Amino acid sequence: MGFKEDFKREMRNTTNDVAKEVEKQWVLHFEGHTIEIMNKMLEETLKVDGEILAQNVRKSIWSHIFPYSKLSGTFIGKSGKKHKVHVKIGGFIKFHITVKVDDQKLLTDSMSLEMLPWKNKERLVPFLEQQFHEHEKLANKELPDDVYLYDEGQMKFAHGFSDQLVNESVLPTYTKKLIKLFLQQVDNPSDATRKATYEKIQDEKVISYFHEFVALFLEVEEDEALIQKEAIWLLEHAAHREVVKFALLVLGMTNCENVKERLKSIALHEEFTGVALFALTNGCRNINDDVWGIAQHTSDWGKLAAMNFLEPEREEIRLWFLTHGVEGVVGGNHAPLLCAEKGQLDIELHEDTITGTTFDGVSKLILALVYEAYNSQMDDYEFAGQVLMRYTKHAKTHSKTVTHFYTLIEIANYMNVSEEEWENRFETNWKPHEKLGVETAFKEISQNPKWLEESKTLLVNQPDHREALAIVDFLTIEVE
C-alpha cells in the first residue's frame, strides 16, 4: 500500500468515527404524541408520530458552513389544536439541542463530542470470548477491525502474517514515550490518559518494539496490581488488534495466573497467539501442556508461534513434533527445522525399527525439510546426512504408498546438486558414506515397477494428481 491509499483509508476511518459519534436520537412525548429527533452526519430528521415533518439532507460533510441546523413543522393535536415544533441542533465544541412545541421548551441538552478511539466500535476480546461462550471454539476468525485495515475487495493477510513483514525496529524514543504514557495512565486512569496511550500504540506495530519494551519495562517501579488493572482495561476495550497485543505484552510482565484461562482463549486466534503465549509463559507457571493444547488447535502462523514456545518435556509431545508438527503450518518458514530439532528426528530414526504411524508423520517432516519450493532447510539441519540415510533405510520396510515414494523423489531431487555444493555439505552436515547409503537405498526402492504403474493408474482419474505426475516424470526421465 502506498501513502495515497493509506491516507484515503485513514480519512475514511476518521469520517466513519465522526459519523458514529454524532449519530444521536431523542424521543420526547407531548400530550399523547411522540416526537423523534434523529441526528446523523449528513442529515437531521424531525418526526411526530412516525411522520416526517422536516428533514435536512446534505451531500457531503463540507456542504454546509453553519454550526447549527434548524428543523420546524406543524402537527394537529388530539384536541384538534395546531401545534408548531422547533428544533435547533448542532455546535462547534459541544453538541447542543433545543426542542420547543409552541412556546413550551421540552428539551435543552448539551454534551461533549468525545472522539475516543475505542468508542462506537466492536471490542475484539469480548467478540472472541462471545464465540467461545456460544460455540466453545472460534467459529469465525475474521476480526471486527478488518474494516479499518483493508479496503473493500482488498486481499487480507492471513492472521499473524503481517507481523512477519516487520523487519525494522522503532526509534528508542518511541518506546520510552509509550511507556511514559502508559505509566501516566496507570497513575491517573481517565479517558484522557487512556486515549493518549491508545493512540500512541496505534502508531507502530507491537512486534517492532517488543524486545526493547520488555527490557525497559523491567526497570519500571510501579504497583503491579495497578499495571495489570490498566492492561486489562485496554484488553477489554480495545477495538484495534495492536492495542490487544500491547495489553497482552504488559500482562506478560506481571503475574497473570488470575487471567490464565482468558489468555488461553485469546491465544487460539492466530493474530494473537504469539504475544498471548508470551504472557502465559512469562506470567504463569506450569504452562507447557496448555501451550501444547494451543499448538494443536491453531494453524499457520499461530501454530508456528505456539511451537516456538512449546518444549518437548514429555515423549508424547516430542513425537507430536515429528508426526504432526508441520501439518497446517504455512510453508517457507522454519517450522520443519524446529520440529526436527525439538522432536529429535535424528534419535528417532536411529532406532532399528519404527512404527508405520511414525514413518507416515516423519515422511511429511522430511518432505518439508527437502522441498525446494519452500526453501529447503535440510542443508541447515545439523544431522541432515545421518537422518536421510536412516530414513531411506526405514523406507525399505515402510514405503508403501505413492505419497511415500513421492517423498523419496524429493529426496533424490535434493541430492541432485553440483559437486561444489556436495563439497560444502561434506564440510558441514554430511559424510560420504551417508550420501552413498541414501543413493543405494533409493535405487533399490525405485526399481519396483509398482510406483510407475500405480502413478499412471492414479492419473487416469486424477490427471492433475501432483505426486503421481512427479513420479511419472522422474521415472520416465530416469528410464530414458
In sequence order, what DSSP letters do the residues of 415-439 get, joined into one string?
A: H---HHHHHHHHHHT--HHHHHHHH
Cβ pair 371, 337 in contact under 8 A:
no
SS3 160: coil
From the list 310, 343, 309, 311, the residue with the least C-alpha distance to 324 is: 343
Our CA dihedral for 306, 312, 316, 320, rounded to 10 degrees, sits at: 50
Strands 51-57 and 68-76: unpaired
Three-state DSSP class for residue 107: strand
Q: Which residue is associated with the grid cell 504411524? A: 357
Which three cell numbers mark 205? Answer: 506495530
Answer yes or no: are the C-beta atoms of 104 and 98 closer than 8 Å. no
CB 188 within 8 A of CB 230: no
- Cα torsion angle, 229, 231, 236, 237, sign: positive
For the entire predicted model, the pTM comes to 0.78
Map grid coordinates 508426526 to a residue.
Answer: 323
Geometric angle at alpha carbon 131, from 125 and 137, rounded to 5°: 110
Q: How far is CA 372 from CA 91, 174, 425, in A?
A: 65, 40, 16
Extents of the domains making up the chain? 21-112, 115-286, 312-448
How far is the C-alpha of 396 from the C-alpha of 100, rounded, in Å?
93
Torsion angle of C-alpha atoms 180, 184, 190, 194, degrees rounded to 10 = 10
Helix boundaries (H) for 284-334: 288-296, 300-309, 315-324
Within 10 angstroms of residue 156's Cβ, the number of other Cβ atoms is 12
| Distance, CA of 208 to CA of 396 (rounded, Å) | 48
For residue 172, the tally of other CB atoms under 10 A from its CB is 11
Q: Say which amino acid occupies 305.
A: A
Q: Let me know if 267 is exposed, middle or buried by CB neighbors in 10 A (0-12, 13-18, 19+).
A: buried
pLDDT of residue 109: 85
pLDDT tens digit at each of 480 positions of the chain: 454 555 565 656 666 766 676 788 889 998 889 989 888 877 888 899 999 988 888 766 554 445 678 889 999 988 889 999 998 887 666 778 889 999 888 888 887 767 788 888 889 999 999 888 887 777 778 898 888 877 777 778 888 888 888 777 888 899 999 999 999 999 999 999 999 999 999 999 999 999 999 999 999 999 999 999 999 999 999 999 999 999 999 999 999 999 999 999 999 999 999 999 999 999 999 999 999 999 999 999 999 999 999 999 999 999 999 999 999 988 778 899 999 999 999 999 999 999 999 999 999 999 999 986 556 789 999 999 999 999 999 999 999 999 999 999 999 999 999 999 999 999 999 999 999 999 999 999 999 999 999 999 999 989 999 999 999 999 986 433
Tell me if 387 sits within 8 A of 345, measured CB to CB.
yes
The two beta strands, 94-101 and 104-112, are antiparallel
CA distance 219 to 91: 47
Closest CA to 239 of 142, 124, 115: 124
pLDDT at 275: 96
Residue with cell string 508470551: 278
Cell numbers for 134: 456460544
CATH code matching the domain that covers 21-112, chosen among 3.90.1150.10, 2.40.10.340, 3.20.20.70, 2.40.128.180: 2.40.128.180
39 closest CA partner among 54, 23, 27: 23
| DSSP string of 342-402, one letter each residue | HTTHHHHHHSS---HHHHHHHHHHHHHHH-GGG---GGG-TTHHHHHHHHHHHHHHH--SH
> What are the tens digits of pLDDT across the range 11-36?
566 667 666 767 888 899 988 899 89
